[in-house]
Amino acid sequence: MAVIDAKPFAYEFDPATTALIVIDMQRDFIEAGGFGASLGNDVTLLQAVVPATARLIAGFRAAGLPVIHTRECHRPDLSDCPPAKRTRGNPSLRIGDEGPMGRVLIAGEPGAEIVPDLAPAPGEYVVDKPGKGAFYATGLGDHLAGLGTRSLIFAGVTTEVCVQTTMREANDRGFACLLAEDATESYFPDFKAAAIEMIRAQGAIVGWTATTAQILEALDA
- Which residues are known to be catalytic? 24, 129, 162
3-state per-residue secondary structure call for the chain:
CEEECCECCCEEECHHHEEEEEECCEHHHHCCCCHHHHCCCCCHHHHCCHHHHHHHHHHHHHCCCCEEEEEECECCCCCCCCHHHHCCCCCCCCCCCEEECEECCECCCHHHCECHHHCCCCCCEEEEECCCCCCCCCCHHHHHHHHCCCEEEEEEECHHHHHHHHHHHHHHCCCEEEEEEEEEECCCHHHHHHHHHHHHHHHHCCCEEECHHHHHHHHHC
d(CA 29, CA 187): 10
For residue 158, say if its preceding peptide bond is cis, omega within 30 degrees of 0: yes
